[in-house]
Chains A and B, each alone.
Chain A
């Protein structure tokens, strides 16, 4: 082979390699992307049957239940229009609490319970996962009926709470800065 041909072969090889890698990445991508749904979308039957997805919303106050001594925990995720009962077996993350945002990975069971295999609350406790915040905003409009649960997300930094004040969730006040 002449040097020119060799170089051509090299370039072709690289192009082929890139193309194969791209195709494989794309297929891996299509198989492994998980979609996000909120309780209203779940209630409307938007979730393809049997598919693993992410459910996001707020943990309803007072919904956390556990048989004493059991690792299985049940709670209700809400977007204030619809509720989805969730069942999870395992250790809950530190930031998990009633009245706070949560994202759970899992599947719907035929009885309408969402069986989570992973519960995430790994966002900063100052704000909610953006997708949950957006979903809540969409579902709830400007209504402040559930003001305590309103996402204290975006923009203005919250004012420093006085020592001993309740956690920042319930005090989404804004600093006069």
Chain B
């Protein structure tokens, strides 16, 4: 009964989303107050219905309802309860349902926040979100119904893909999707502004906290995915430029550009049409990400199933949404004039460079990700594009971005009086370079050319970002949360750059064959293989290895990697064992029985790799702090500042 109830709830949700879209868009257009008043109840109703559907599917998973195809394919009676719940988003259909649930949740949040917005504008925002929701619900019901029954019911399920049976991956999709879907809010604000034909600084102030929050979630989601790939896939890398990783990274890059461009629109009333374009682009890339991952057109660990009808539906939906938004843009954007100008050394120009570089970075990633598809479609041969392409092209736009950041945070709005800051900039740069060389040559005593360059840029950002806040704090001035958040996020970025530089330069990777009692020495550590033993599991058998690591003759740690064999799917899975020492991650994975009593063992030492994920968390925290600034919450009280009037505020 439950699956049918869920299916029915989903159909009702589709109808409500349709109403929400219609009343939200037609109401303001025709000036019908009552229509606009109906939008909020529709939003609430849709959320309740979608939650009901999700609840029904979870109940089916928990209750081992193997008469439901989706449950039978992604769960098993031996699967632990926790993974039976998270199996909900273990494959295509459920992931979409999760997408829809999160969109409904964001919409409810916006409808609560919309109380502070002008009535017509709020209705339009919710209406656009209704259109998005309608499209995804229709897609789910038409091509990917998770409630389909199986007759006769399967005696047991085929089990969740073993690599998805992991705590980090249990939370990765919801957080990542919260970020993806959050850009729908920025998109809806942009479309509403275009429908309205008016975009002022108050608009930017409403949009900013939503966008920054979505960006924070996306940052965390990407980091979690990278963390998962690192320890779970057994290859040990943290970023593979895999199409699915790229799919989440492109909206992140454009989203980062968007939050900076919004700052200019907010503070100075400039970059208006550019901001709109970025908002459209960020959400389009989020949807493209969904398309790339879910249609199975690209080879990846994450693409679950290949079903051409789904791909075509998503493609059509994408074309309609993005095409519609861009058509609206070409029609309305010329109305939005940005009268004020700025000088070359002003903060605006640095933010412009930031935007250009981030968009270039996104474009190069885009080109590399889609090239295999295009080459294949044009019959130019099947190609693959890997790190040798992505690493240098990405760095090409990132290095100037990082250098400009340190200078940019010291620039004033409107006027380019950087001469006053020359000394500060020079001193921080020198101090940064000294610190960087100290770290690179003092601790590691070798390195590539890029190592000291990357480290210098990282330290420079740290020092340059702290100068102003420390100065203000010493003078007893209060720091707005927006400034604190920005500084924290920039410090997070610096940490990420430092960690990435170190990892790329000083990683040690080795595959070795070891017999029990045998040992291998690398990177100052000695790894001794102490043999294997059987390890029982709830839905798998495993062989566990023991590896004792010593340094200078003293025992340091014992690592216990496993090689698991999952019964139901009959698949093998490598369970790595990782421990930290002096900031470096020491990873050991058990390969296979090579015969003659020897086992293959993979050993990797990656310095500071954990700090990459920590850095992402710090950036997200910075975003959260900035989004909570009181300025955004009192937006209505402040009224609408006429477009183009400079506030002359050089604080943020």
- Give A residues with C-beta under 8 Å from B: 3, 6-7, 9-10, 14, 17-18, 21, 24-25, 28-29, 31-36, 54, 66, 68-71, 89-95, 122-127, 129-131, 153-155, 157, 159-164, 166-168, 175-177
- Asked if B371 is at the interface of the complex by the 8 Å CB criterion, the answer is yes
Who on chain A is nearest to B157 by CB? Answer: A160
* Majority DSSP secondary structure for residues of A touching B: loop
Q: Mark B141-167, 1 if CB is under 8 A from A, else 0.
A: 000000011110011111001000000
B residues adjacent to A (C-beta < 8 A): 66, 69, 72-73, 76, 148-151, 154-158, 161, 233-235, 296-297, 299-301, 303-308, 341, 343-344, 349, 352-353, 356, 360, 364, 367-368, 371, 376, 381-386, 388-389, 392-393, 396-397, 511-513, 515, 567-574, 589, 591-592, 594-598, 600-602
Q: Is the CB of B396 within 8 A of A6?
A: no
25 cross-chain CB contacts under 8 A:
A21-B360, A21-B396, A25-B367, A28-B389, A34-B383, A36-B381, A36-B382, A70-B513, A71-B600, A89-B511, A92-B591, A123-B300, A131-B376, A131-B382, A154-B308, A155-B306, A155-B308, A157-B69, A157-B305, A161-B158, A163-B76, A164-B567, A166-B570, A168-B158, A177-B149
A29 with B371: CB separation less than 8 A: yes
Residues of B within 8 A of A89 (CB): 511
Q: Is the CB of B598 within 8 A of A69?
A: yes
Given known A-B contacts A69-B515, A162-B155, A91 and B592 have beta carbons under 8 A apart: yes
Query: Bound state CA distance, A71 and B193, in angstroms?
Result: 62
Please name all residues of chain A whose beta carbon is closer than 8 Å to the beta carbon of B156 when the two chains form the complex. Answer: 160, 162-163
Whether the pair B572, A94 counts as a contact (CB closer than 8 A) is yes
Nearest Cβ in chain A — how far from B400, in angstroms?
8
Chain B hits for A126, CB < 8 A: 304-305
What distance in Å separates the Cβ of A45 from its nearest Cβ neighbour in chain B? 15
B155 and A163 contact, CB distance less than 8 A: yes
Contact A69 B306 (CB under 8 A): no
- Chain A residue numbers with a CB within 8 Å of B149 are 177
**When the two chains form their complex, are residues A95 and B571 in contact, meaning their CB atoms are under 8 A apart?**
yes
Residues A7 and B384 in contact, CB atoms below 8 Å apart: no
Q: Is the CB of A153 within 8 A of B306?
A: yes
User: A144 CA to B503 CA in the complex, in Å?
Assistant: 49
CB distance from B148 to the nearest CB of A (A): 5
B397 touches A32 (CB 8 A): no
A6, A9, A153, A167: the one within 8 Å of B570 (CB): A167
- Given A66-B595, A69-B594, A69-B597, the answer on whether A25 and B371 have CB atoms closer than 8 Å is no
CB neighbours of B341 from chain A (8 A): 3, 7
Cα–Cα distance between A128 and B234 once the two chains are bound (Å): 20
